[in-house]
Amino acid sequence: MKLYDYYRSSAAYRVRIALELKGLEVEHVPVHLGRGEQRRPEYMAKNPQGLAPALELDDGTVLTQSLAIIEYLDALQPEPRLVPADPLLAAKVRAIALAIACDIHPLNNTRVQAYLQNELGQSRETVDKWVHHWVLTGGLEAIERLIDPAPFCFGATPTLADVVLVPQLFAARRFATPLAHLPKVLAVDARCADHPAFQAAHPSRQADAE
Amino acid sequence: MKLYDYYRSSAAYRVRIALELKGLEVEHVPVHLGRGEQRRPEYMAKNPQGLAPALELDDGTVLTQSLAIIEYLDALQPEPRLVPADPLLAAKVRAIALAIACDIHPLNNTRVQAYLQNELGQSRETVDKWVHHWVLTGGLEAIERLIDPAPFCFGATPTLADVVLVPQLFAARRFATPLAHLPKVLAVDARCADHPAFQAAHPSRQADAE
pLDDT digits (tens, 9 = 90+) for A134-159: 999 889 999 999 998 999 999 999 99
Say whether the ipTM exceeds 0.95: yes
A74 with A93, same domain: the answer is no
Mean pLDDT computed over A74-84: 97
**B24 in helix, strand or coil?**
coil
The rounded distance, in Å, linking the Cα atoms of B9 and A1 is 38
pLDDT digits (tens, 9 = 90+) for A186-210: 999 999 999 999 999 999 999 999 9
> What is the CA B2 to chain-centroid distance, rounded?
18
Closest CA to A161 of A200, A192, A130: A192
The rounded distance, in Å, linking the Cα atoms of A31 and A66 is 15
Contacts of A167 (CB under 8 A, 6+ apart): A10, A11, A13, A14, A17
The rounded distance, in Å, linking the Cα atoms of A42 and A168 is 29
- Sign of the dihedral defined by the CA atoms of residues A104, A108, A109, A112, in that order: positive
Q: Which chain B residues are Cβ-neighbours of A51 within 8 angstroms?
A: 103, 138
- Residue of B46, B62, B102, B147 to mutate, interface with A, max A Cβ within 10 Å: B102
The rounded distance, in Å, linking the Cα atoms of A93 and A153 is 8
Phi and psi at residue A122, in whole multiples of 5°?
A: -85, 150
Put simply, the chain A residues between 6 and 35 with a CB less than 8 A from any chain B CB are none
Q: How many residues does chain B have?
A: 210
Distance from CA of B141 to the nearest CA of A (A): 8
Q: Can you give the CATH number for the domain in which A17 is found?
A: 3.40.30.10
The rounded distance, in Å, linking the Cα atoms of B57 and B64 is 11
Distance from CA of B72 to the nearest CA of A (A): 6
pLDDT digits (tens, 9 = 90+) for A30-62: 999 989 999 999 999 999 999 999 999 999 999
Considering the entire predicted model, what is its pTM? 0.97
Helix (H) or strand (E) holding A115: helix A110-118
Q: Does a structural domain hold residue B207? A: no
Contacts of B151 (CB under 8 A, 6+ apart): B187, B188, B191
Q: Give the model's confidence band at A161: pLDDT under 50 very low, under 70 low, under 90 confident, else very high.
A: very high
**DSSP 8-state code for residue A38:** G
Distance from CA of B198 to the nearest CA of A (A): 23
B7 with B23, same domain: the answer is yes
Distance from CA of B126 to the nearest CA of A (A): 8
From B49, B65, B145, residue closest to A94, measured CB to CB:
B65
User: How high is the pLDDT of residue B137?
Assistant: 86
- Across the interface, do A67 and B94 touch by the CB < 8 Å criterion? yes
- Across the interface, do B88 and A61 touch by the CB < 8 Å criterion? yes
Contacts of A133 (CB under 8 A, 6+ apart): B115, B119
B117 with B48, same domain: the answer is no
Do B71 and A90 contact (CB within 8 A), yes or no?
yes
Q: What percent of chain B has pLDDT over 70?
A: 100
Q: Which chain B residues are Cβ-neighbours of A39 within 8 angstroms?
A: none
Domain limit, last residue, from A30, A65, A80: A80
Any A CB within 8 A of B36 CB: no
B147 with B192, same domain: the answer is yes
User: How high is the pLDDT of residue B31?
Assistant: 96
Contacts of B78 (CB under 8 A, 6+ apart): none
Least confident of A21-25, B34-38, B51-55, B201-205: B34-38
From A95, A130, A141, residue closest to B65, measured CB to CB:
A95
The rounded distance, in Å, linking the Cα atoms of B140 and B145 is 9
B176 with B113, same domain: the answer is yes
The rounded distance, in Å, linking the Cα atoms of A210 and A206 is 9
Which range of residues forms the domain containing residue A7? 2-80
Q: Does a structural domain hold residue B203? A: no
A74 with A116, same domain: the answer is no
Q: Total structural domains in chain A?
A: 2
Do A12 and A6 contact (CB within 8 A), yes or no?
yes
The rounded distance, in Å, linking the Cα atoms of B201 and A96 is 26
User: How high is the pLDDT of residue A138?
Assistant: 83
Put simply, the chain A residues between 183 and 202 with a CB less than 8 A from any chain B CB are none
